[in-house]
């Protein structure tokens, strides 16, 4: 009986791996720009597709985490592109 409860808790923690990876990559995109921002965007969209396909019990939390990671990834990517544009304008023009 203990095996069943252990496998259930392990499988529920496995469900949140993609959104957590997306969030971590999104936070890192603040430091590394689009190098980690683009993978955050890709993983976030995969997580959202997985949430649509599989009806998790905690579907709302899963989607919110994925959307939060997507926002971080898009923000880091756009800010790094903007920073590159400013650097280009200042030093090359």
Give the total number of structural domains in the chain.
1
Residue span of the structural domain in which 85 resides: 2-92
pLDDT of residue 43: 95
pLDDT of residue 40: 95
Spacing of C-alpha 83 from chain mean position: 22
Mean pLDDT of 27-33: 91
Nearest alpha carbon to residue 42 among 29, 57, 60, 32: 29
pLDDT of residue 68: 95
Report pLDDT digits (tens) over 35-85.
999 999 999 999 999 888 877 666 788 889 999 999 999 999 999 999 999
Q: Output 28 or 15, whichever has higher pLDDT.
A: 28
């Amino acid at each position: 009986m203990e095996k069943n409860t252990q496998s259930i808790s392990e499988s529920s923690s496995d469900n949140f791996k993609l959104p957590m990876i997306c969030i971590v990559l999104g936070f890192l995109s603040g430091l590394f720009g689009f190098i980690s921002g683009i993978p955050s965007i890709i993983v976030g969209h995969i997580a959202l597709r997985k949430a649509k396909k599989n009806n998790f019990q905690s579907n709302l939390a899963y989607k919110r985490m994925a959307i939060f990671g997507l926002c971080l990834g898009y923000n880091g990517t756009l800010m790094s592109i903007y920073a590159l544009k400013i650097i280009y304008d200042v030093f090359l023009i």
